[in-house]
Every structure is written in C-alpha cells, then in structure tokens.
Structure 1
C-alpha cells in the first residue's frame, strides 16, 4: 500500500501543482507528501519534479509517469469498488460540489437522507457560485448550471430550469417597469449580477420576438454569492436574473415581481458532471442517482 500511497500523492501534487495543497487535499502533512515523492523518485530512479523555492514543475519523466499513474489508480479504484459492491455495504468518502442556491435548497437537505440509507459513505459537500475545477479539487461529482466548457467531463443532464427576471415592487414603483429588453442597457435600470474570478461578461440571454438576444447589462454593484443578489433585489436595489426554483417563495409572496414577461430569459441546463472514466465508482453512481431523483422530486414548479 505504501507504493500506491506514493503514487496517489504524486498524482495530486501533479494535478494541483503545489505540495502543500496536495497534502491538505490528502489530509497529510507537507513533510509526508514530500517524503512520498522522494521515495517514488528513488524507486523510479528519475526526477519527477523540478523544484525551486517558488515553483514545482513536472519533468518530462514526470509527465510520462502521470499518464500511467492515473491509469493504475483508476484500475485499483475500480477493482476495489467492484469488490465492495458485491461483498459489503458501500463505504468511503465522496466529494460533491454544487452552486449555492441549488446546494442550500435541494442538495444539502438530501445529504442526511442519503447517509441514512448508506451510513458507511461520508459526504463532503462544497457549495460555491464559483465554478470549481473538478479534477484539480478532487471532486467525485458536481452539479452545474449552464454548459460546461471542459470536454473531458461526462455530463448527465437533469433538466432545463426556467429562469425569470424580477425586482421588488418598490424598485418598479421608483424606476418603472421596462417595456423592452433594450431598456436594461440604459441608466434607467440597475441589473444585479453574479461575479466571481473567471466569470464571463454579463449578457442576459432573452427570448425576444426576433429570436434569442444576449443583452449586455450592468449595475452599481455585484457579488459572488447568489443569495446576496436576491437580498439586494428584495431591498429594492435592482433587477435580478434567477432560476425560478431559487426565488419561488418570494414570487409567491409578491416580494419579487416578474420583469419583461414578454421577453423571458432562456432556461438554463442543470446537469451533473463527473470525470470521464471507463467505469464510474459504484458509490459515486449511487450518490448521483439519489441526488438527481431528489432534485426532480423537490424542484419547485
């Protein structure tokens, strides 16, 4: 097992590009991680990384070994998973990520239910409106709103989520109800947007009589937390673009009202993403199936 541990450590260091980050991910000390890499290099009689005080870059031999190492680990993980699936209750730890709105409302409540059914599987849930890197962050699966750019991931589409433009009645009373999408680009209206590192420019895709138009929008402030945007809209600070499931209670109560109903936003795809492997870890498949069923059963209409 020591040799496999060394290989696992090498793969995480390679993927994260940082010894300390890999050690944290593996829940070992940086000294242990460094020792494992050294043992592996001594065993292979090659340098796997070029080390400087600030950088850790794989050598040519390191690049070659990485591709073989990932195949070894996938084969071992698949073999262990198959044995577990037929000999005992599924066990282990799974890392799952989701956007804040979806995660708080639909994923987090389902985690204890899943654990009650599969008590030997521990769940580590990470919620963020930032788009995580599934491979670099060691995630088994993540839920995603939109169309992912990484073609190396497998996509399981769940549903298309209706979206809505809305604002508070107080905002509409002060600033008026826009009649056309072009008005969103003027100084007459403030649009509240989700901004995080790497976020695209703000363009809201709206279904107009002339087809889908991507309308550039802006506002006086923005945030990387979707629920903060909702709070600002509730307080009358602007217009938001949201999946209906995130704000259904505010629409039902009248605290938020629809805007531009004749030019609604394009629905957004909700999908589950996971790494492209020959066979998926059975316990990860159990978790994904469970969460998909829970989402579809509890998604507000």
Structure 2
C-alpha cells in the first residue's frame, strides 16, 4: 500500500504541478507528499520532476511514468468500486460544492434525507458563488450553473433552468420599466455577480434579432448571490436570476419580472466531477440521488 500511496501522490503532483496543492487534495502534509515522491524516485532510479524555487516540471521519465500510473490507479479503483458495490456499506466523507442559491434552496434540504438512507456517509457541503477548483479544493463533486471552463472535468447535465430579470416595485416606480435591452445601458442600475478572475459581465438576452449579449453596469457588485437579491429587494437595481432562486419573492410581490419580452437565455445546471472520484460508489450514489431530487423540485 505504501508504494500505491506514492504512485497516487505522484499522479496528483503531476496533474497540479504543485506539491502543496497535491498535498491538500490528498489531505496529507506537503512534507509527506515530498517524501513520497523522493521514495518513488529512489525506487525507480530516475528523477520524475525538475524542481526549482518556483516551478515543478515533470522530466521525460516523469511523463512516461504518468501514462502508466494513471492506468494502474484507474484499474485499482475500478476493482475497489466493484467490490464495494457487492460487499460493503457506503461510508466516509463526501466534499460537495454548490452555488449559494441552489445549495440553500434545493440541495441542503435533501442532505438529511440522503444521510438517513446512507447513515455512514457524511456530507461536507460548501456553498459559494465563486468558481471553485475541484482538485485544489479537494472536492468530490460540484453542482454548477453555466458552462465550465475546465474541459478536463466530467460533466453530468441535469437540466436547463429558465432565468428572468427582476426588480422591486419601488425601483421601477422611481426609474421606470425598461422596454428594450438597449434601455439597460446607462439608464438602469444592473446588479452583477462578479468574483476575482471573472470576465467582463454580459447578460445574454433573447431578442427578436436573436440572442444579444448586453454589457451592463451598476453601482454595486458582489461575489455573493444573496447580497444581490437583497439589494434588489431594497430597490437598488435589477438582477438576473434563475427563476427558482427568487420564486418566493416573486410570489409575494417583493420582486417583479423586468423586460419579459426579451428574457435571458436559460442557464445549464450540471454536476462536475473528476473521473476517478466517480469510481467511489458513495459519490455515484449521492449524485444520482441529488440529480433526481433537483429534477423533481425544478420540474415545470
């Protein structure tokens, strides 16, 4: 098992190009990760990485060993998953992430139900509207609204969620109801979800001329979706939200639809995971369970 642990550590260091990030992902110390790489290099009689103070790059031998190492680990994990499906009760911790609105309204309420069915599986749920790095954060799966930037991840599409622009009646009484997408530019305060590394924000609207990407601005922005909702409720501007996220506020009249003749395009709701994480039976069980719950909860 010690050799297999060394191989697992090598694969994560190779993929992340960072000893500390790999150690966090494996939940070991950086010193242990470094020691495992050194043991593996001594066993193989070659250097697997060229190390400098700033970079960690694989050698030619490291590139060759990685191709074989991933096949070995995939085969071992497939075999373990098959055995677990037959002989054992799912157990251990799952680290799951989700956007704040989806997590609060849809996912979190079903976590106790999943735990009641699988009492030996512990769910560690992180809610954040920021884009998260699954490998660096040590996540087993992440529910996601939009299109992922990392093409190396596996994606399971759940559904397309309709969206709408909303504002409070007080805001519209003061500033008027926009009649076309052109009215959003300069005439209205648009409340944007923005986080470090985010690109220039545009709202994709379905117009009579096709989808138009409208660059919008406003006096406030945040990386926290609930903050934007609260600002809209207080009359500070217009928000773009999935309909399910603000349905209670719309039903009460606290928020009203804006620009219904040019609505935003629907947004993809999906689950992201790394291939090897899905070999874990409890990860497959949780994702299958939650996908069904989400589809039932958000069905038209």
The normalised TM-score by structure 1 is 0.92
Equivalence for 2:141: 141
- Matched with 2:191 is 192
Matched, 1:29 2:32: no
Contact 2:189–2:238 (Cα < 8 Å) also in 1: yes
Deviation per CA, 1:48-74, whole angstroms, max 9, x where unpaired?
222223332222222222232222222
Q: Secondary structure at the match of 1:108?
A: helix
Matched, 1:228 2:227: yes
Higher helix proportion: 2
Number of aligned positions between the proteins: 300
Matches within 5 A, 1:119-198: 119-186=119-186, 188-198=187-197
Residue in 2 that maps onto 1:98? 98
Matches within 5 A, 1:213-252: 213-252=212-251
Using the TM superposition, give the Cα deviation of residue 278 of structure 1 relative to its aligned residue in structure 2, in angstroms.
Answer: 12
Matches within 5 A, 1:46-61: 46-61=46-61
Structure 2 contact 24–136 (Cα < 8 Å) conserved: no
Long gaps (5+) in structure 2: none
Q: What is the CA RMSD across the aligned residues, in angstroms?
A: 2.1
Note the C-alpha offset of 1:181: 0.8
Are 1:203 and 1:216, in contact at CA under 8 Å, matched by a contact in 2?
A: yes
2:43 is the counterpart of 1:43: yes
| Alignment pair present for 1:288 and 2:287 | yes
Change over 3 Å in CA distance of 1:294–1:278 after alignment to 2: closer
Distance 2:222 2:63 in 1: 38
Deviation at 1:39, TM superposition (A): 0.6
Q: Which residue of 2 aligns with 1:65?
A: 65
Residue in 1 that maps onto 2:80: 80
How big is the shift at 1:95? 2.7
Secondary structure of the structure 1 residue equivalent to 2:134: coil
Q: 1:25 to 1:86 in 2, by over 3 A?
A: same
CA contact (8 A) 1:78 1:279 kept: no
Q: CA deviation at 1:128?
A: 1.8
* Alignment partner, residue 114 of structure 1: 114
Partner SS for 1:94: strand
Q: Is the 8 A contact 1:155 1:272 kept in 2?
A: yes
TM-score, normalising length: structure 2 = 0.92
* Per-residue CA distance 1:179-225 (angstroms, 9 max, x = gap): 11101012x21111111233232111111122221111111221111
Instruction: Report deviation, 1:280.
Output: 4.2
Q: Following the alignment from structure 1 to structure 2, what is the Cα–Cα distance between the partners of residues 137 and 63?
A: 24
